[in-house]
Amino acid sequence: MPSSAAASCAADANVAADEELRLASRRLPDGLWQTDIAVPAIHCGGCIRRVETELGKLDLVRRVRVNLASRRASVLWQDAATPPPLLHALSAIGYEAHLHEESKDTTDPERRRLLRALAVAAFASSNIMLFSVGVWAGADAQTRDLFHALSGGVALPTLLYSGRIFFLSAWAALRHGRTNMDVPISIGIILAFALSFYETLTSGPHAYFDAAISLVLFLLIGRTLDHVMRDKARSAVLGLARIGARGALASGPDGVVLYRPVAEIAPGMTVHLAAGERVPVDGLVLSGRSQLDCALVTGETIPISAVPGTRLSAGTLNLTGPIDMRATAAAKDSFLAEMTRMMEAAEAGRGTYRRIADRASSLYAPLVHAGAALSFLGWILASGDPHHALTVAIAVLIVTCPCALGLAVPMVQVVAAKRLFEAGVMVRDGGALERLAEVDRAVFDKTGTLTEGTMRIDETMSGVGPALAIAAAIAVHSSHPYSRAIAALAMADAPALAAGQVREEPGNGLEAEIDGQVYRLGRASWALPRSAAGQQGTILARDGVAIARFRFEQPLRRGAVAAVSALREMGIAAEIVSGDAPEPVAEVADALALPACADVTPAGKTQRIAALRAAGYKVVMIGDGLNDAPALSAAHASIAPASAAEVGRNAADIVFLHDDLAAVPLALATARRAAVLIRQNFVLAIGYNLVAVPIAVFGYLTPLLAAIAMSSSSLIVVVNALRFDAPSYRGAKQRPAPRGRPAGVGIAR
């Protein structure tokens, strides 16, 4: 019975753990879940590779991405009765992990730990240096031995306290049959101390306690500055976490109004916002009128009006009056949370450069150990002096640390993403910047991308008034600009329709069943299948018969003309591929002097992208609609506005938050600038090793100088990344079109 009871308890614990994992995860389309796991011990490229490899071996796991800056693993797994044992798999390879929880707490325990260790090492190093001065000044043998003993007495507790940062990491790796950057560093520190201890016991003339502790000091300086600079580069993400509301007054189905933490506000709850409060989750205004500061979402500083029916995004500031809203998403699925995930995804991107750096870092430990061993044997054979040979081997172990190479790419990507965020542009994937820098062709959607959708109704048609209320009720279930314009005109009079009553067909329109009648709102050829001859524009049809027709004025989006002109200056040809009717597409094409094709289906847009790629072009797709999602995914790189449909935002690599189309050339120019800095960092990191390693191998570097050189190389790479200045697209240098490619590819009609 006791064993049965224990088995039952274990089973219950497993069920509870599985349930906790699901609650901490996000449900994604196609039966996938995303789980974010905090892994504090991650600190180098080897750790990233190990964690991604082990988690990737698990059944159901489809993708793993590790973010070194936030020390977090993002895992996509297929839905099943039992989730994959993510935490157990990490524990088995020596990485203690836990489910990540969003927190407004800005304290940084890792920074405090590094600073305390650094302070102890600095104090000890300064005192040991004072003892060393006496030895260097020519102290007699007894005084020298006393100073060596005092230095050892100060060095030992310092190594145990400050050096444990490296020792614990190295031991965790070795205990699970792997290596990381801290293994050779720890070996170097321990060998330097052991050699000094031996010299002290035997009254030898040389002791390197000062070098051992100074080595720890300089390594900690480099690691602490690296940590601080990473946090500085990630300040945009940390700022987003502070912007969000902590909670709000909300009433559930029982009607009881309580102040609830933002994590407890569920879709369907009514949230009561006073003036001066931030919107906690995405929602829809039910009652009240106010002005909203939407600068976080749109980049615009001019307040906008909030009336019943207005869509609200988390993080928006309610300025002037109380409003009631209905929550439409949980906090973890809100627009603010999505932006935070975009920023973090940008840091974890895996482009070609990043993969090269990670691969080099993973090969580091065995190569360094081999190099140090060969240096030791070589000097033993050449000089017969084991003391000098061991000193050279220690210097080789230290100087070859590839920290600079590991930082070369991620630091630039993080800083570039931060600069773009400050300009209102979100990067969803760090690898997207690399792809965007290679782009030489641009394809634009029209409606909602190059234009704004402002509606004008044809008042000559009969029955427009009643039909408008029905059209508004249907249109509210779509984020297409035409739908939003129709919904805004008659929201107060529109009947309520459940989401399940409305179906959206990408590229065509919306269909709903009301009182046993089928209504279609959208493209005439789709809404009127039996009598569409000669019909154009947007039609509301009831059982295949038109009851209202809508016409739209389409002013160009702000900055469209300048953006297209800037792309030409950058050597990027552009064109329009739209699903709209030929007449409005031609008007926009003429205004921007671009080639265009109209009446293109979602499949047709994807085919056009494929044709351009087959012709040798690397295409960036800029679109916003549900019908643009396949083309956004098919393009070499993709950009969407924040107003795009959710599936469009998820498919795009880059999302811009404001209404100005200048974001497109700005993102392209920034990506090119980032590519230049990454190449510079590679040259610096590789150049350092080409110079420093031979110097260490030939015995010209002491362990202390090796530590200074290694830390300096990392700082140089980080500083080079931090000098990133996001260029204005107007100042972007023109790049000629690649040679050997056709001057143009015909637009398919």
* Positions marked active-site: 445
Question: Where do we find the tokens 């931030």?
Answer: 278
The number of beta carbons lying within 10 Å of the beta carbon of residue 542 is 17
b (16+ CB within 10 A) / e for 457-470: beeeeeebeebbeb
Cα–Cα dist 649/639, whole Å: 8
Three-class secondary structure of residue 41 per DSSP: coil
Cα–Cα dist 137/584, whole Å: 88
Q: Which two tokens stand for residue 179?
A: 């290596």
Cα–Cα dist 531/317, whole Å: 48
Amino acid letter, residue 286: L
Q: What stretch of H or E contains 181? A: none
Closest CA to 97 of 78, 117, 71: 71
Cα–Cα dist 73/37, whole Å: 5
User: Would you call 413 exposed, middle or buried from its count of C-beta atoms within 10 A (0-12, 13-18, 19+)?
Assistant: buried
64-66-72 Cα angle (round to 5): 115
8 A C-beta contact, residue 656 and residue 639: yes
Packing angle, helices 386-399 and 182-201, rounded to 10: 150
Q: What stretch of H or E contains 382? A: helix 364-383
Three-class secondary structure of residue 572 per DSSP: coil
Q: How far is CA 688 from CA 402, 683, 685, in A?
A: 10, 8, 5
HSE-up (13 A, CA, CB side) for residue 58: 23
Three-class secondary structure of residue 358 per DSSP: helix
497-505: Cβ within 8 A, 24+ apart: 497/473, 502/474, 502/477, 504/477, 504/478, 504/626
8 A C-beta contact, residue 128 and residue 212: no
Cα–Cα dist 732/329, whole Å: 40
| Close Cβ partners of 71 (under 8 Å, ≥ 6 residues apart) | 38, 39, 40, 41, 42, 43
Torsion of CA 649, 653, 659, 664, to 10 degrees: -150
Closest CA to 395 of 209, 226, 187: 187
Amino acid letter, residue 93: I
The number of beta carbons lying within 10 Å of the beta carbon of residue 405 is 25
Amino acid letter, residue 491: M
Cα–Cα dist 657/624, whole Å: 12
8 A C-beta contact, residue 493 and residue 472: yes
- As a whole number of Å, the end-to-end CA separation of the chain is 77
Cα–Cα dist 341/126, whole Å: 44
Amino acid letter, residue 63: R
Q: How far is CA 502 from CA 21, 257, 541, in A?
A: 33, 31, 14
8 A C-beta contact, residue 278 and residue 316: yes
Q: Which two tokens stand for residue 2?
A: 């006791």
Packing angle, helices 364-383 and 182-201, rounded to 10: 30
The distance from CA 45 to its chain's CA centroid, rounded to whole angstroms, is 17
